[in-house]
Amino acid sequence: MKKLLSVLLVFCLCLTFALPAFAADGGVTVDSAWSILVPAQPTQYENFAAQKLKTELSTVFGKEISVVSQASGNYIAIGSASGADISKLAVNGYRIQVIDGNIHIGGTGVRGLQAGAYRFLEEFCGRKVYAYDCIEMPAADSITVPADTDISYEPFFEYTDTDWLSPCDTEYSLSNGLDGGTYRSIPAEAGGTVNYLGGFCHTMGTLCETEAHKESDPEQLALHDGKRTTDQPCLTNPDVLAIATANVLNILEQRYDPQASVQIVSVTQNDNQHYCECDRCKAFEKSHGGVPSATMINFVNQIADAVKAAGYDNAAIDTFAYQYTRQAPEGIVPRDNVIVRLCTIECCFRHTLDDSGCSRNKKLMEDLNDWSKICKRIYVWDYTTNYSNTCIVFPDFGVIQRNIQVFYEHNVKGVYEEGNYYIRSCNTEFGELRAYMISKCLQNPYCDYDAEMKGFLNAYYGPGGEDIGKILEMHLANTGTHLSIGESPSASFSFTNKEIAEINSLWAEAKSSAQNDKQLERITRSELSWRFWKGSTGKGEFSLLNPERFDEREKLFEDFKAHDVRMISEGSYDDYLDCLCVRYVTTNEWNMYEADESGAQTRLSFGKFFESLVPFLSFYGLLYKLFGVAP
Ligand SMILES: [Zn+2]
Ligand SMILES: [Zn+2]
Judge if 57 and 203 occupy the same domain: no
Angle between helices 431-443 and 400-408 (to 10 degrees): 30
CA of 366 to the centre of ligand 1 (A): 27
Tell me, yes or no, whether 509 lies in a domain.
no
What pLDDT does residue 595 have?
84
Confirm if 111 and 49 have CB atoms less than 8 A apart: no
**Lowest-pLDDT range, 258-262, 383-387, 601-605?**
258-262
Name 607's Cβ contacts closer than 8 Å, sequence gap at least 6: 581, 583, 584, 585
Task: Provide DSSP, 519-570.
Answer: HHHHHHHHHHHHHHHHHHHT-GGG-TT-TTHHHHHHHHHHHHHHTT---SST
CA of 403 to the centre of ligand 2 (A): 13
Angstrom distance (rounded) from CA 432 to CA 244: 40
Q: b vs e for 517-529, b when ≥16 Cβ sit within 10 Å of the residue's Cβ?
A: eebbebbbbbbbb
* pLDDT of 270 higher than 70: yes
How many CA atoms does the CB half-sphere of 461 hold within 13 Å? 29
* Same domain (yes/no): 121, 199: no
Task: Judge whether 488 lies within some domain.
Answer: no
* Residue range(s) defining the domain that contains residue 27: 21-153
Nearest to 253 by CA among 307, 205, 206, 212: 307
Phi/psi of residue 568, nearest 5 degrees: -120, 0
* Inter-residue contact 363 to 312 (CB < 8 Å): no
What percent of the chain is predicted at pLDDT more than 70? Answer: 94
What tens digit of pLDDT does each residue of 342-385 get?
999 999 999 999 999 999 999 999 999 999 999 999 999 999 99
Q: 281-307: per-residue pLDDT in tens? A: 999 999 999 999 999 999 999 999 999
Does any domain span residue 427?
Answer: yes
Which three-class secondary structure state does DSSP give residue 468?
helix
End position of a domain, from candidates 153, 170, 190: 153
In a domain, 570, yes or no: no
DSSP 8-state assignment for residue 320: E
The pLDDT value given to residue 627:
67
Does the structure show a pLDDT above 90 at 28?
yes
Residues 284 and 338 in one domain: yes
Ligand nearest to the CA of 363: 2
Same domain for 166 and 121? no
* String of DSSP letters for 258-318: TTSS-EEEE----SSS-----HHHHHHHHTTTT-THHHHHHHHHHHHHHHHHTT-TTEEEE
- Give 402 Cα–ligand 2 centroid separation in angstroms: 14
Q: Verify that 29 and 143 share a domain, yes or no.
A: yes
- Residues 326, 343: contact at Cβ < 8 Å? yes
Mean pLDDT throughout 511-535? Answer: 98
* Phi, psi of 143, deg, nearest 5: -125, 155
| Distance from residue 348's CA to the centre of ligand 2 (Å) | 5
Q: Are 95 and 105 within 8 A, CB to CB? A: yes
Are residues 240 and 204 in contact, defined by beta-carbon separation less than 8 angstroms?
A: no
- For residue 618, the model assigns a pLDDT of 64
Residues sharing a CB contact under 8 Å with residue 112, sequence separation 6 or more, in sequence order: 86, 89, 91, 92, 93, 94
Q: Are residues 61 and 146 in the same domain?
A: yes
For residue 556, is it within any domain? no
Cβ 185 vs Cβ 235: under 8 Å: no
Q: Does the pLDDT at position 5 exceed 90? A: no
**In the predicted model, what is the mean pLDDT of residues 449-466?**
98
C-alpha to C-alpha distance for 309 and 249, rounded to whole angstroms: 11
> Do 574 and 596 form a contact (C-beta atoms < 8 A)?
no
Provide the pLDDT for residue 615.
76
Q: Do 163 and 215 reside in the same domain of the chain?
A: yes
For residue 65, the domain's CATH number is: 3.30.379.10
Mean pLDDT of the chain: 93
At residue 524, what are phi and psi to the nearest 5 degrees? -60, -40
- Based on the fold, state whether residues 424 and 350 are members of the same structural domain: yes
State whether 65 and 103 are in the same domain: yes
For residue 233, the CA-to-ligand 1 centroid distance in Å is 7
Residue 18 has pLDDT above 70, yes or no: no
Distance between Cα 342 and ligand 1 center (Å): 23
Last residue of a domain, one of 153, 175, 197: 153
Ligand nearest to the CA of 481: 2
pLDDT of residue 261: 86
Q: Which residues, by Cβ under 5 Å, contact ligand 1, an ion?
A: 234, 236, 276, 278, 281
By DSSP bridging, strand 66-68 and strand 35-37 are parallel
Strands 75-78 and 35-37: parallel
The 10s digit of each residue's pLDDT in 547-600 is: 899 999 999 999 999 999 999 999 887 789 999 999 999 999 999 998 888 889
Residues 92 and 42 in one domain: yes
Instruction: Compute the distance from residue 464 Cα to the ligand 2 centre, in Å.
Output: 31
Peptide bond into 631 cis (omega under 30): yes
DSSP 512: H
pLDDT above 70: residue 13 = no
Residue 258 lies in a domain: yes
Q: Give me ligand 2 centre to Cα 355, in Å.
A: 8
| Number of domains forming the structure of the chain | 2
**Closest ligand to the CA of 219:** 1
Q: Which residues surround ligand 2, an ion (CB under 5 A)?
A: 348, 351, 358, 360, 482
Distance 617 CA to ligand 1 centre (A): 69
Q: Which ligand is nearest to the CA of 479?
A: 2
- Residue-level pLDDT at 25: 57
How do strand 128-131 and strand 134-136 relate by DSSP bridges? Answer: antiparallel
Rounded to the nearest angstrom, the distance between the alpha carbon of 393 and the centre of ligand 1 is 44
Distance from the CA of 284 to the center of ligand 1, in angstroms? 9
Q: Is residue 606 part of a domain?
A: no
Last residue of a domain, one of 465, 486, 517: 465
Please indicate, yes or no, whether residues 249 and 297 belong to a single structural domain of this protein: yes
**Looking at the domain assignment, is residue 7 inside a domain?**
no
Segment 81-102, tens digit of pLDDT: 999 999 999 999 999 999 999 9
Rounded Cα distance between 94 and 103, Å, is 13
For residue 211, name the pLDDT band (cuts at 50, 70, 90): very high
pTM: 0.92
Distance 364 CA to ligand 1 centre (A): 27
Contact 121, 103 (CB under 8 A): no
Residue 404, domain CATH: 3.20.20
Looking at the structure, tell me whether residues 171 and 146 fall in a common domain.
no
What is the rounded distance in angstroms from the CA atom of residue 433 to the CA atom of residue 521? 15
Ligand nearest to the CA of 355: 2
* Whether residue 235 has pLDDT greater than 70: yes
